[in-house]
Structure 1
């Protein structure tokens, strides 16, 4: 797999990787063609797994390499990490505050962001799109960092990040398409709405790669920024959504740990 990616420039690598993660989102949305109902316990477990993957990716693939890179570039590692990490969280908080969206399973009176007359389906897609912005950005930054030829940024690590994010994108596509299908929307339209939430990842990925390649000094900040944005999504969205039903908390906890373990294995093995 590494040999395949090596023949492309970092921007193209980021595009290929994020097209993969979008494809997995579409695969998750495609469950509507198989079933109209997905048991809440299964969906909660899938969301817990996704949270674990994102937590592990935030540290192993983004924060730790960012700290190492800051040291290699002569920066103050802890200061770079804090500025980047908190910057990512603040960016996502502002996006969450102003972007109209509605989380799966909630009624329209619980929608967030600025007031709008947009339909429920559009708001559901925007909620998952909000998750996918930092994921695409993280992949793009990871591949862009490889072009700097610093020891802390490896192609294997970037590929591991893309695989991990791809895996956890499956339940995110399902989380959009399945509620729409239950509400009476056709299979085809439910699928299209579900996969649409992942289209932002190639855009964010290519943009992230191009940005960091043009400014090497900002690479550590960008990696830590992506980590902070992903942790925000986990704490603000994935964990609360997966634990709405109290009886599923133990299951969600274990699948979160499983997701963390899978991402850790991927990063250590490939990175």
Structure 2
């Protein structure tokens, strides 16, 4: 059934995967047409689940292939270097972006906006917060498909597809978590939906760029894989985990994180 997809260029595969991830965000955002607000307990559980998925994906789909590729490239006992360097640079890069681009985390007051001072509305700041954290997810998908084309044992097409599925699943609640607060601030349902789905368009761009970069400059592959992992871990620790723990549902959110991690680990090992 997937023969047509398998035969595609990895850059095209990655682009399709980015569209798939975006579609789940759009589906989540479309809930604004049915409900006026998101259930906080459900949102905390889904944030925890998303964090678990991304943490597991960061290792099995990104860091492990990065180390394997470095070993195959002749790094020997120093095979950890590309993974360490890429991982730290990925996290630091996203921290710098966080410090520069004004944004507001979901559930925070306007006075808690991060980044440079701005007069942008709370709606725009919420949109920017989700958008800047969606880019590394798309990038990780693209790099995974690019790595699969290199024939690494731990970086298969199946593992890239599983990574895309995991990110898509956690995008669904993210779409509704953005569109509903925007609606609550007075925006129309149509505008709330459009902003919710548009926040994930950067995933398509990131997926394309990730696959294109590693296909053009193969030497950066282990660094790119680890870079994506570092950026995703930063998002988990800086955003998803704190947001899941601050509303009195910490036990539920923690269990959801464990379940998300276990599910992603199972899918990646069993299918990858």
Q: Same fold (TM over 0.5)?
A: yes
Aligned-residue RMSD, C-alpha: 1.1
Matched residue, 1:53: 53
User: Which deviates the most, 2-11 or 167-176?
Assistant: 2-11
- Equivalences for residues 210-229 of structure 1 within 5 A: 210-229=212-231
Matched residue, 1:264: 265
Distance 1:156 1:230 in 2: 20
CA drift of 1:3 comes to 2.6
TM-score with structure 1 length normalisation?
A: 0.97
Distance 1:2 1:252 in 2: 35
Distance 1:36 1:144 in 2: 40
DSSP 3-state at the match of 1:115:
coil
1:144-197 superposed Cα distances (whole Å, 9 cap, x missing partner): 112222333210111010000000111111111011122222111111111111
- Equivalences for residues 1-271 of structure 1 within 5 A: 2-75=2-75, 76-245=78-247, 247-271=248-272
Where does structure 1 lack aligned partners over 5 or more consecutive residues? none
User: Which deviates the most, 181-190 or 231-240?
Assistant: 181-190
CA drift of 1:2 comes to 4.6
Where does structure 2 lack aligned partners over 5 or more consecutive residues? none
Distance 1:202 1:182 in 2: 28
Distance 2:178 2:141 in 1: 22
Distance 1:151 1:73 in 2: 14
TM-score with structure 2 length normalisation?
A: 0.96
> CA 1:2–1:160 in 2, change beyond 3 Å: closer, same or farther?
farther
CA drift of 1:135 comes to 0.3
Distance 2:122 2:184 in 1: 13
Conserved? CA contact 2:123–2:185, under 8 Å: no
Instruction: Provide the aligned length of Structure 1 versus Structure 2.
Output: 270
